[in-house]
Structure 1
């Protein structure tokens, strides 16, 4: 049987790989012209040349690191935060790593290894440099996100609650980019790896569809911001509590009974949520229905309700408490007392105090709160008793 011809990579991909190889592995082309005569003289003594190259690389790298740190530090003194100092420390280490690793590649050339051995050692050195730069980039991205979050001129979507997700997204992008160049460095075609990763991604998507649903719902919750950490929310299923954690997979609520509820983000994304801490401010209005009998002086009843609200120190003074007549009931005139509280978590406590105070003041003023009652009348009862 005839053998199938071996598949060859496209010409464009081959040329790209060759360009990458020539760029990263031909270190001698990086040397200045005036260094070539000294290099050729010392190349007769490889060990001496290696020591000279490494020593020169260390001194040169340290010098560049010192110059950058000195200049950048003098400029950063104009700022009041400490983020720029941390960023300078990270970048200065990267400068030292880049320069010293380049000189290490020169040291490999000084040994005059065979071509394949020399390329292998240089690839290892460049791979270590890429890993070092990737770690530095990961630290720098996290630091920059924190700086943007704490800055007064921060982007609206960079907040304390969104930092974990943005940090993970930036890390994935950086790892993917460095991995791509690392594959090119070793002379491999990354398109095949990307295709394999796509197939694996589809398989993982089917296997972990619930987890991915929670993951995407978590991103949408962060982007849409229906609630944030510290808000009091009420779900359509009746749960009410304070948001203590907004993660990639789930949201956690702490109820007034000090019971923590963990709800998957896929459920939160499809639920009707009442955010009691939302709106222009965190203040919440309470409505307390109160009924008085038809014999009551309604002006007095209104004044009593206002006094009760004004005398409670947990009731907000602005907006001011209000009383509104709502309905002529079957046995009472129905009012509603409107008051504002500063925080939703004190809702139950304020309701308790206001109801007790209203009851006491109505009793003191002789105001009747009607309630449902029935009188039983038996016809001709007195006649039957007499007989």
Structure 2
């Protein structure tokens, strides 16, 4: 039956209000009390009656526990890594110190926020603390991925990653870490990522049309890194006329250093559609060809011997294979010969050709071999008579 006495109702409401906080606290913190030894449980029950005091105690204990975990990580694992000669494990251990401390301490702060029973903002503070933990691990994962790529691509006994593919793997790993971390942050704050992905798809189409040239260069950079038509240090020629040493390969462009010491930046989209001649991509030696013409009536055997001797006397030409001479044809006013030699550095092509041309000219002059040149003979049939 309903209670018609207002006084009894007021007393009942007062008792309910007085005992509600204690009842809710016991419901929220049964596990924390059970984790403590039996001798400390009465003291915890006394402290638990004051929410702010309990929260401060949890924060203090969490800080001590975080410092202990960090010290254990440094001391125990540091001793194990000291037995290795590589510095990679020491760098990874150094990068793990911060996220381990942040995870333990902020987890304890989250428990303290729950215990404090703040009137407003409890869920926001907890989400913020958990987000900081995720962000700390994201930063550590990015740094550790770079360290592992350097270790796997360096000059070690076991080399799992080619040097030319390091930028590709570096960008891919960082994108994956950022995507996974962003997804976790969205889930922490209760944001449905499906709607964001749909919006990102529409925005991606608009951005793709607006920045199609930039995207083309990026995709071409991926293919250049994966296919490796050239590498840093190679000398390449493009069908558009550029020639130089590859000094940098990026995801958007490639930089060449010409023989004039001028750096040229070429978009990867242009290089991907161009014909590339890689002078350093074949064997260890590169053949150069010196075209020489001698006058008709010259001793061809003597010409061949002299050209071979010029090639052998040049210290920049390789002895294996040796210089060779070939007669290529009968020209309009000359007998055409080719002196072919092999060099090891493509950048020396111009200087070596200069030395060979100088030596050939001097040798032919000493042996009275004529190098034909354009000349005209004028015949006068008769002199005009004077009246």
* Corresponding position: 1:85 with 2:90: yes
Task: Give the 3 Å change call, closer, same or farther, for CA 168–208 of structure 1 in structure 2.
Answer: same
* Corresponding position: 1:182 with 2:177: no
For residues 246-257 of structure 1, the aligned pairs below 5 Å read: 246-257=249-260
Q: Name the residue aligned to 2:235.
A: 232
Structure 2's unaligned 5+ residue stretches are 1-27
Task: Give the 3 Å change call, closer, same or farther, for CA 133–36 of structure 1 in structure 2.
Answer: farther
Q: Secondary structure at the match of 2:266?
A: strand
Alpha-carbon offset, residue 385 of structure 1 = 8.2
Q: Name the residue aligned to 2:11.
A: none
Alpha-carbon offset, residue 111 of structure 1 = 1.0
Alpha-carbon offset, residue 242 of structure 1 = 1.7
Task: Give the 3 Å change call, closer, same or farther, for CA 31–176 of structure 1 in structure 2.
Answer: farther
Alpha-carbon offset, residue 142 of structure 1 = 1.8
Q: Name the residue aligned to 1:301.
A: 303
Does the 8 Å CA contact 1:234/1:275 hold for their aligned counterparts? yes
* CA distance in structure 2 between the aligned counterparts of 1:148 and 1:28, rounded to whole angstroms: 48
Does the 8 Å CA contact 2:138/2:177 hold for their aligned counterparts? yes
Q: Name the residue aligned to 1:325.
A: 327
Q: Name the residue aligned to 1:70.
A: 75
Q: Out of 303-312 and 232-241, give the one that drifted further.
A: 303-312
For residues 274-313 of structure 1, the aligned pairs below 5 Å read: 274-281=277-284, 283-313=285-315
Does the 8 Å CA contact 2:98/2:136 hold for their aligned counterparts? no
Structure 1's unaligned 5+ residue stretches are 1-26
* Corresponding position: 1:364 with 2:373: no
Does the 8 Å CA contact 1:234/1:274 hold for their aligned counterparts? yes
Q: Secondary structure at the match of 2:213?
A: helix
Task: Give the 3 Å change call, closer, same or farther, for CA 75–302 of structure 1 in structure 2.
Answer: farther
Task: Give the 3 Å change call, closer, same or farther, for CA 323–70 of structure 1 in structure 2.
Answer: farther
Larger Rg: 2
Does the 8 Å CA contact 1:28/1:106 hold for their aligned counterparts? no
Q: Name the residue aligned to 2:21.
A: none
Q: Relative contact order (alpha carbons < 8 A, sep ≥ 6): 1 or 2 greater?
A: 1
Task: Give the 3 Å change call, closer, same or farther, for CA 336–33 of structure 1 in structure 2.
Answer: farther
Q: Name the residue aligned to 1:271.
A: 274
Residue of structure 1 aligned with 2:159, choices 154, 163, 175: 154
For residues 209-228 of structure 1, the aligned pairs below 5 Å read: 209-228=212-231
Residue of structure 2 aligned with 1:346, choices 327, 345, 348: 348
| CA RMSD of superposed structures (Å) | 2.7
Alpha-carbon offset, residue 349 of structure 1 = 0.9
Q: Deviations over 1:166-223 (max 9, x none)?
A: 3333222211111111111112211111111111111111111111111111111111
* CA distance in structure 2 between the aligned counterparts of 1:41 and 1:30, rounded to whole angstroms: 16
For residues 93-112 of structure 1, the aligned pairs below 5 Å read: 93-112=98-117
Q: What is the number of equivalent residue pairs in this alignment?
A: 355
* Corresponding position: 1:192 with 2:195: yes
Does the 8 Å CA contact 2:99/2:133 hold for their aligned counterparts? no
* CA distance in structure 2 between the aligned counterparts of 1:41 and 1:216, rounded to whole angstroms: 65
* Corresponding position: 1:118 with 2:122: yes
